[in-house]
Structure 1
Amino acid sequence: MKNKSGSFIEWLIPFCFILCAGWLIWHLPAFTLDWVPPDQSQADNLRGLHHRNDVTPGMSGPFGGEADWVDYLALLGLPIFLYIGIRTVRRAPMEFESWRPADRVSVFIGRVTMMMIILLTSVMLYEVLLRYVFEAPTLWANELSLWLAGFVFLCAGLYAMQQRSHIRIFLLYDICPRWMQRLFDTISTVLIVLFAFFLVYGGYGEALDKLWRWETFGTAFDPPIPATLKPTVLIIVSLVAIQAVVNLISDWNAEPVIHTAADDIDQDELEKIRAAVGAEGVGDLDVTRGSIQGNQTERN
């Protein structure tokens, strides 16, 4: 298992993936009009939305229609960057030691989520700069922040499931024998899968309708937040259920883990503190003990 992380390509590929995905989402009405056109009135409304938001107006496409060359290049680049990202992602030292193909997908989505957090922070800082320094606020920063935050919230849930970092109560779990722990794990996984199934079964009609109509937020910027986040909820919840099954299989023969308060301590940070203060805690950063020793010396 590779555990070296942080190379340049690991951050470049998620950024390229976000660019392709963002372009496709913004121009998705073009593909809807070309591939599965709705009825005439709805098609006219969708065409008006697309022409208003088209980043490359007037550019022709390889097959005619509304989608142009850049749209198809983004469509081609999305699976390519997804594949490269899954192949090149590496487990960081503090991440959970599980590396099945489904784990690679979840960790790569986690890297994409981290990049979206950087983009979200950049948008907010840009808005603050324009609003309070130049007194020229934008019409799009607030809605774009909400849009990105929605994707971050959803994708972070998948990464948390892969890392086993979701909220769990171990008081009863830790005192049970291993066979009963497996039973608890199986029950929780079945409940997650059932929840995902019924959520998708009950919500796909509404999500598809919002996507088909390209429902927007109704503001000056008017981003398609309902049209994109509703289907994303169902997709991510399905992936979370799959990841829960993968976790169950991966942890089935694992040794039982006794959870303590020490689990919340970052081992890397602890090692840095030990190196800074010395093996016996008398380094330069050990202010408390140094002060005590200094006072004792003065008294003697």
Structure 2
Amino acid sequence: MQEKSGSLIEWLVPLAFIFCAGWVTWHMPAFTLTWAKPEDPSQYDKLSALFARADITPNMTGLFGGYADAGDWLALILIPILAWIGMRTVRRAPMEFESWRAIDRLAVFIGRVTMMLVVVLCSVMIYEVILRYVFERPTLWANELSLWLAGFVFLCAGLYAMQQRSHIRIFLLYDMLPRALQRTCDCISTAMIVIFAFFLFYGGYGEAFDKFYRWETFGTVFDPPIPATLKPMVLVVVALVAVQAIINLISDWHAEPVIHTAADDIDQDELEKLKAAVGSDGTAGLDVTRGAIQSNTYKAD
């Protein structure tokens, strides 16, 4: 895959994906009431009240005899389109894992979305700090929104870390084994990941579906649907991590053995920049404070 070019589309597509996904998530009760109307009247009334309170476009009428309006359907349709565009336009950054298969593009694009979520999260926190300490008008939503975004960042970053092989691994014994035994260890670790994902999904599906269907909220003034979204998201991401682990196993099966050293943690690009900054002689006439080095010869009074 080509190295990252830094083009504007690599910023705009993840941001547009976040906006559409956020819009659909915020208006999910409209889709639930349209596709799977609860038979329990109390549950129906609760979802209707949640939708009426959270609807960003209350003046727009629903389409196809449901609650979801044109804006909701447009955002839903754009999500897979933007994901496809993002997977086609994503480029490898210099510090990222070199071997990319076409199927890895989804994990890498989710990694780009996660990076932009961090930007959004920091923006929300800065906005809250300015309003709270400069204008003395704190918001009622910034704290819960930060928690919500941080949960998605934590989960999605795990998938990206798996694709990049950057998760924590202990190589002390692994590097000493012949390649055949290394492949055996890789198979065992991948099988353990898949088994864990299976039982987590099997044991947590019922509760996650119930929270999602009831659209359980956080219970604050802002009242975001953190339980209703993060609980199913845990299962989805863990399943994707298991799939990515299998993809990594297939991709690395014929790879040459790698001997890991302490130098693996050093960013060569950053090291070259430091060398250029201090000079080939070590300090280039400057001390650690960037000031001129004092001469060792002293002039006579």
Question: 2: CA distance between counterparts of 1:285 and 1:243?
Answer: 48
Do the aligned partners of residues 118 and 287 (structure 1) sit closer, same or farther apart at CA in structure 2, a change above 3 Å counting?
Answer: closer
**Runs of 4+ that moved beyond 4 A:** 284-288, 290-293
Q: Is contact 2:286–2:292 with CA below 8 Å preserved after alignment?
A: no
Q: CA deviation at 1:62?
A: 3.0
1:131 aligned onto 2:132: yes
**Is the alpha carbon distance of 1:197 and 1:296 closer, same or farther for their aligned partners in structure 2, counting shifts above 3 Å?**
farther
Following superposition of structure 1 onto structure 2, how do residues 98-137 of structure 1 map, counting pairs within 5 Å? Answer: 98-137=99-138
Q: Which residue of 2 aligns with 1:86?
A: 87
Q: Distance in 1 between matches of 2:99 and 2:212?
A: 35
**1:7-63 per-position Cα deviation (integer Å, ceiling 9, x unaligned):** 110010000000000000000000000011112221111010000010000201331
Deviations 1:263-300 (A, max 9, x none): 11111100111222333435245659x988932798xx
- Provide the residue aligned with 1:184 in structure 2: 185
TM-score with structure 1 setting the length: 0.95
2:62–2:69 CA contact under 8 A, matched in 1: yes
Deviates more, 1:75-84 or 1:100-109: 100-109
| Structure 1 residue ranges without an equivalent (≥5) | none
1:61 counterpart letter in structure 2 = G
Aligned to 1:240: 241
Identical residues among aligned pairs (%): 72
CA distance in 1, matches of 2:159, 2:297: 55
Matching residue of 1:278: 279
1:70-129 Cα distance to aligned partner (Å, 9 max, x none): 000101111110000000000101000121123111110000001000110011111111
* Mapping of residues 98-247 of structure 1, within 5 Å: 98-247=99-248
What residue in structure 2 maps to residue 52 of structure 1? 53
Q: Give SS of 2:176's match.
A: coil
TM-score (norm 2): 0.95
User: Paired residue for 1:251?
Assistant: 252
Aligned to 1:27: 27
Offset at residue 5 of structure 1 (A): 3.6
Cα 1:296–1:244 shift into 2, 3 Å: farther
Q: Quick one: distance in 1 between partners of 2:298 and 2:11?
A: 53
Retained in 1: the 8 A contact 2:107–2:160? Answer: yes
Structure 2, unpaired ranges of 5+ = none
CA contact (8 A) 2:24 2:72 kept: yes
Superposition CA RMSD, Å: 2.0
Aligned residues between the structures: 299
Q: Which is worse superposed, 253-262 or 107-116?
A: 253-262
Paired amino acid for 1:240: V
Aligned residue for 2:192, secondary structure, equals: helix
Residue 41 of structure 1: aligned partner:
42
Given that residues 109 and 155 in structure 1 are in contact (C-alpha distance below 8 angstroms), is that contact kept between their aligned partners in structure 2?
Answer: yes
Pick which of 144-153 and 274-283 moved more. Answer: 274-283
- Bigger helix share: 1
Q: Which amino acid aligns with 1:194?
A: I
Q: How is 1:64-75 mapped onto 2 (pairs within 5 angstroms)?
A: 64-75=65-76
Contact 1:102/1:243 (8 A) holds in 2: no
